[in-house]
Chain A
């Protein structure tokens, strides 16, 4: 907040370095390029070299025949895979919404008894991207949302009567847990590109698993990129949601958490979004939103309406839970209005009348463990260049006395 200029600059450069690391680590050629090029490389060998290599490979194969009987190796593999699947029992077993399998593990058996309700200690304060800091309001629109600064008034009803809400905590997934997730899907480890816990190959698709991203905050996630050989899902009369359900069921990826489905069929690919919800006793279900207030959870992209090209979603994790006092709705409203841009600014920010509000959950990364914390999400609309845009404002809900500054 009040960093000296040098520190601020150093932090900005460090953040840029991290982004560059991520950019270089995640920029990779299209699927299939690696195999195509390897074939070209192999074909560039002189014919006599190919014969020599083939003979070498043949004799190497003979010398590498395992001394252990194959049946014994197979038995060990079966046991290992079984242990992996058992340990990762949260992975989809089909079924529908609700359930909360990952959650229940954490709730019923806190890790070594250290997580009695309310005792995560002071939890970190979330950082949001609502553009409340005064910057020029240029190009601050993304997909119908206005992200720039604005001045707020409130003209709605915020119906939250509970005085506390759960905070959820997870420990950062390891490469081992990513491998277990992948092996339960039948995917084989290909490598560990930097920025990812693992990259895996499976029949018809490649899989990447990523841990928590600190900035901007992003949950541990998996990404399934289908290859061109993956056939479309043929199901007579099936709509996008049905197709996505079938795809997820086929790959045992049906969410085990509560969700609602939103289908964006306005473009190709059609996006089927499973928006995650958390149960807040006394309030109901609260959506998980990103730092801009957008709901997320799991998404299946369908090209041509029935060919899955991408499935990306929350990596199944075990969550611990503890109850925390939350601020009153009136305080949240005041905070939301106060977060608006100053009216005395040289470039007046647009005025937005906030008319809706709800309790939501946001990710708060904190190193080797991270939190899903409650927050108040306010929203309203404004007109800009003849377009109606939505403005969202997030306010931390956990009482300041229970948060780190």
Chain B
């Protein structure tokens, strides 16, 4: 029943920015992140009637959709292209100086390093820092909570080494 779940508008307001950040950390480029985020919320809106709050939290449900959309993106565009764009820090939408200004105070370089991590390390970092519990991360990544914690710790160390090497 609809009473079991919050209005979709609330979900949209609360999670749009967080989902965008998650996707952005995965794909690196702002334009791709916008496209994928748009797809996530269009899909979520269409599927919201079937969402059952007693089975999962809205955030875990949304992040599952976002994760699938990101994987679809990689399948469609290929990892090589993703890496190229990440390395080159390519940005497609550059027309708004205010946007550029806002970008400056964001941690673009750090997220670019996250985007270069191997897939599972990237996954665990982005899901965890998007606010999901290790239990939720484990369920999404089809592993136990403890395995998610270990994977996260290893990923964090790998990221630290990568950051030190790149001088971010």
| A interface residue numbers (CB < 8 A to B) | 12-13, 16-17, 19-31, 33-34, 37-38, 40-41, 44-45, 138-139, 191, 193-194, 223, 225-228, 268-269, 301, 303, 307, 309-310, 312
Contacts and interface: CB of A to CB of B under 8 A. Distances in A.
Contacts of B110: 19-20, 23
B99 interface: yes
A21 B45 CA distance: 28
A24 B21 contact: yes
Contacts of B108: 27
A226 B97 CA distance: 9
B96 interface: yes
Contact of A17 (B126, B131, B156): B156
13 contacts: A20-B159, A23-B110, A24-B25, A27-B25, A27-B106, A27-B111, A30-B30, A38-B12, A44-B42, A225-B101, A269-B101, A301-B97, A303-B98
A283 to B, nearest CB: 33
Interface stretch (B31-39, B56-64, B136-144): B31-39
Given A20-B114, A28-B102, A31-B99, 15 more contacts: A13-B157, A16-B159, A24-B21, A24-B130, A25-B21, A26-B105, A27-B20, A27-B108, A27-B111, A28-B20, A29-B33, A30-B96, A38-B12, A40-B38, A269-B97
A28 B101 contact: no
Top 9 nearest A-B pairs by Cβ distance?
A: A23-B107, A310-B101, A27-B21, A309-B98, A303-B97, A30-B99, A309-B97, A28-B17, A24-B129
Contact of A44 (B12, B34, B45, B130): B45
Interface string B22-55: 1011000010011001100110011000000000
Contacts of B101: 225, 269, 301, 309-310
Q: Is the interface of B mostly helix, strand, loop or mixed?
A: helix
Contacts of A303: 97-98
Contacts of A307: 97
Interface residues of B, number: 45
B93 interface: yes
Nearest to B45: A41
B151 to A, nearest CB: 14
Interface of B: 12-14, 16-18, 20-22, 24-25, 30, 33-34, 37-38, 41-42, 45-46, 93, 96-99, 101-102, 105-108, 110-111, 114, 125-126, 129-131, 156-157, 159-160, 163, 167
Contact of A28 (B21, B46, B98): B21
A31 B98 contact: yes
A193 B93 CA distance: 24
Contacts of A41: 12, 41-42, 45
Greatest chain A CB density within 10 A among B24, B107, B159 is at B107
Contact of B105 (A21, A33, A223): A223
A169 to B, nearest CB: 26
Contacts of A12: 160
B150 to A, nearest CB: 14
B18 A225 contact: no
B106 A37 contact: no
B12 A193 contact: no
A208 B96 CA distance: 18
Contacts, number: 121
B148 to A, nearest CB: 15
Contacts of B131: 24, 194
Given A30-B30, A37-B38, A41-B12, A24 B156 contact: no
Given A13-B156, A41-B41, A225-B101, A26 B96 contact: no
Greatest chain A CB density within 10 A among B13, B38, B102 is at B102
A17 B21 CA distance: 15
Given A17-B156, A30-B102, A226-B98, A37 B163 contact: no
A37 B41 contact: yes
Nearest to A34: B16
Nearest to A191: B13
Greatest chain B CB density within 10 A among A21, A23, A193 is at A23
A191 B98 CA distance: 20
B71 to A, nearest CB: 19
Contact of B97 (A20, A34, A40, A268): A268
A41 to B, nearest CB: 5
Contacts of A45: 45
A7 B94 CA distance: 42
Nearest to B167: A139
Contacts of B38: 37, 40
A20 B101 CA distance: 20
Contacts of B45: 41, 44-45
Given A28-B17, A44-B45, A33 B34 contact: yes
A146 to B, nearest CB: 14
A27 B99 contact: no
B99 A26 contact: no
A27 B24 contact: yes
Contacts of A24: 18, 21-22, 25, 126, 129-131
Contacts of A13: 156-157, 160
